Chain A
Amino acid sequence: MANDDLSRTFAALADPTRRAILARLAAGGATVGELAAPFDMTLAAVSKHLRVLEGAGLVSRGRDAQFRAAMLDARPLAAASVWIADYAKFWQDNLGALDSYLNALQQLGTPTPSHDKENPRD
């Protein structure tokens, strides 16, 4: 996947409304009206978001001129899975914090709520 495509994918994902639209489409295709319903947005605004998602290849539109149901195309998401490295970073940081916390806890010798019979470690 070219970097430009990846950038388009990320740019499309960088907006909470568009992510919410994708999450909705993950449950099945929907018309602009159906997509607009949960948001305080005009149909035009939703259409604009859909065009960005279409441009990133994340959404395809039906041919029916009147409804043009939007469908999720998850392929760019799979290709953008490197992005998931952010999640790994999140958990790496969390495990570091957990480690520090448990070290401090044991050094203090503070009995933990349901381990109060356990002797504190040096």
Chain B
Amino acid sequence: MTDYFTVTRTISAPRELVFEALTKPEHFAVWFGTAAVEVPRDTLSMDVRPGGAFRAVMHLPDGNSIHWTGTYVEVEPPAHVAMTLTDQPGDDAGLPVIFDLESVEGGTQLTVRQDRSDFSDEQVAATIAGYNAFIDDIENVVARIAG
């Protein structure tokens, strides 16, 4: 198993707009974490260029907060973004999450994946450890969305 996961969805919007939604805080704050959580616009900082920093605070329905940090690794508008993402600031953020956007009939096919093929067990462990609070809270978040 080389992929942790691959998630694909066709979104009925032009590729440029989908790319903006992924890379502009005023959009990102709205959808990231889904409607079940709140990401205040003023907690979001997105320096979308290779080496640039990502920060966001996610307020969960149970009152807890997740502090996300990451680094943009690859940025190729409007087709590709790779960024690390962790909720344990200060730690090695592990493997990047990769977003690929492809224009298709009816909109844009967006693929999100994390691939471990080129990484050591140690990097994989760092990635898993990097989703710390997220793992604790994901079930609550998912339950709210489902409910």
Contact = CB atoms under 8 A, between A and B. Distances in A.
Interface of A: 13-14, 16, 19-20, 22-23, 25-27, 72, 74-75, 77-78, 81, 83-103, 105-106, 112-115
A87 B92 contact: no
Given A74-B122, A90-B138, A91-B112, A19 B34 contact: no
Instruction: Label chain A's interface by main secondary structure.
Output: helix
Interface of B: 1, 4-7, 9, 11-13, 16-18, 20-22, 24, 26-27, 30-35, 88, 91-92, 97, 110, 112, 114, 121-126, 128-136, 138, 141-142, 145
A24 B27 CA distance: 35
Contacts, number: 139
A95 B11 contact: yes
Nearest to B18: A102
Contacts of B32: 94, 97
Given A88-B5, A98-B21, A20 B129 contact: yes
Contacts of B20: 112-115
Contacts of B31: 94, 97-98, 100-101
Contacts of A96: 9, 34
A19 B136 CA distance: 11
Contacts of A94: 31-34, 112
Nearest to A21: B129
Given A77-B124, A90-B134, A112 B34 contact: no
